Homo-oligomer: A and B are copies of this chain.
């Protein structure tokens, strides 16, 4: 939402510096599907303030609550994206995000469905669920 917050201005070294962590750690979080940094045409990553905030939250969850990365992925897989995006029954039937329960929806390729039209990096399912503490509240709002 906030243009400034979502402006991808930090290089990976700047982001690592600001967060006090190493560069490979940032790449690992991305590989695990916890963050989707902006990528330039040349494939270089650029991080926004929103990304940094998200990563801070991820780290609090891993190091504070002791939920493992695998646990966080499973928790985020429960976000009812099909409700949020209003998927049809037919689309759900063939959607990995709807069917599986081990990874967040934005880690799938989304071919042949409603989400193939849009970019996960700006999708509300991704942006609003930076914090897996919010999963239950989100679920309640649809139950």
Partner of A135, one of B70, B72, B83, B101: B101
Q: A83 is contacted by which of B71, B77, B101, B143 (Cβ under 8 Å)? A: B143
CB of A110 closer than 8 Å to a CB of B? no
| Cα of A30 to Cα of B139 in the assembled complex, Å | 27
Kindly report how many copies of this chain are found in the complex they form together.
2
Whether A67 pairs with B71 at a CB distance below 8 angstroms is yes
Nearest-neighbour CB distance to chain B for A126, whole angstroms, equals 18
Cα-based distance from A63 to B71 in the complex (angstroms): 12
A residues near B (Cβ < 8 Å) are 65-68, 70-72, 74-75, 77-78, 80, 83, 101-102, 132-133, 135-136, 139, 142-143
